[in-house]
Amino acid sequence: MAWQKCKMLVSGIFIGALTTLTFNVYANVEDKVTAFLAPYIGFEFNGEEKPLSQGYTVLLYEGRTYTPARFIAEELGAEVFWDEATQTVKIETPLQEDVEKEDIDDKTEEPKKENPVEVEEETKVRKSYESLPATYYDGDIRLKVQTVVIDDEQTRVYISLLNEGNVPIQLEQTATLITIDGKEYKQLDTGRRVPNPYVGDWYNDIRNDEFTDSLVRMPAIPEDTEELTIKFEIRENDRNQNRKEITFNIKL
């Protein structure tokens, strides 16, 4: 039921966006249309406030509010991509049978152990941490973490991303995640303390043999942090929209 509502909401947003686009094209011919930017409008998903990603905005036109379809759809768990061949914006949600199967698995009772056997406590496997700069390379993508700067309001992670493949790529900065002793610090939470948490460099395609040197703004972490794990997500910006997660275990 939740996914059906999600599909209806995403479809409504998408249809509204297409209707607005069609109307604007007609208006350019017959008359001018005046719409107003509304950056002050906020968004909450299940009671949790989510900042609007940089590059997106909200429009007010004739008493109606127009929101970015990609931002809303992705926050609701849908995938959005542009089909260049058919000039179509496609929005996909998980199949209903997958959701139902998860519900069934959650309700399955675990078999009771009749004869519990005492076992030795498992030895914890310690991660291997590396000093900065740290580099990942797979033949197509070369991602280097240059340095990590900890401030009172934020943590700045300086990185360099080189594309040696044939498909344009982008760094999904909002998917960046730092983990310290089991505690997670999400990039999406940075906006609570930092006025401009998103770096515009990461909204541009990085094509073959191009690279970008910039930073990702993260929430403030403890100043005495000695080791951390940071995860990045790279997206191929074509019709397939394949994603790759790259993880570094870093010693500061």
Task: Give the chain's domains with CATH numbers.
Answer: 2-97 (no CATH), 130-251 (2.60.40.1240)
Cα(201)–Cα(216) distance, rounded to whole angstroms?
Answer: 10
Split at pLDDT 50, 70, 90, the class of 198 is very high
In this prediction, residues 135-149 reach a mean pLDDT of 97
Q: What is the pLDDT of residue 122?
A: 45
Considering only residues 122 and 167, tell me which one the structure prediction assigns the higher pLDDT. Answer: 167
The β-bridge relationship of strands 177-180 and 227-236 is antiparallel
Pick the more confident residue, 55 or 29. Answer: 55
For the beta sheet containing 141-150, the strands, ordered from the edge strand earlier in sequence to the opposite edge, are: 134-137, 141-150, 154-163, 210-219
Q: What is the pLDDT of residue 145?
A: 98
Give, rounded to a whole angstrom, the gap between the first and last alpha carbons of the chain: 47
Q: Is 85 helix (H, G, I), strand (E, B) or coil?
A: coil
Dihedral sign for Cα 100, 172, 191, 59, please. negative
- pLDDT value at residue 89: 78
pLDDT at residue 251 tops 80: yes
CA–CA distance, 171 with 214 (Å, rounded to integer): 11
Q: Is the pLDDT reported for residue 48 higher than 90?
A: no
Element (H, E) at 166: none
Given a cut of 60, whether residue 22 has pLDDT beyond it is no
Cβ pair 178, 166 in contact under 8 A: no
The more confidently predicted of residues 200 and 31 is: 200
Non-local (6+) Cβ contacts of 208 within 8 A are 163, 164, 165, 166
Higher-pLDDT residue of 100 and 164 is: 164
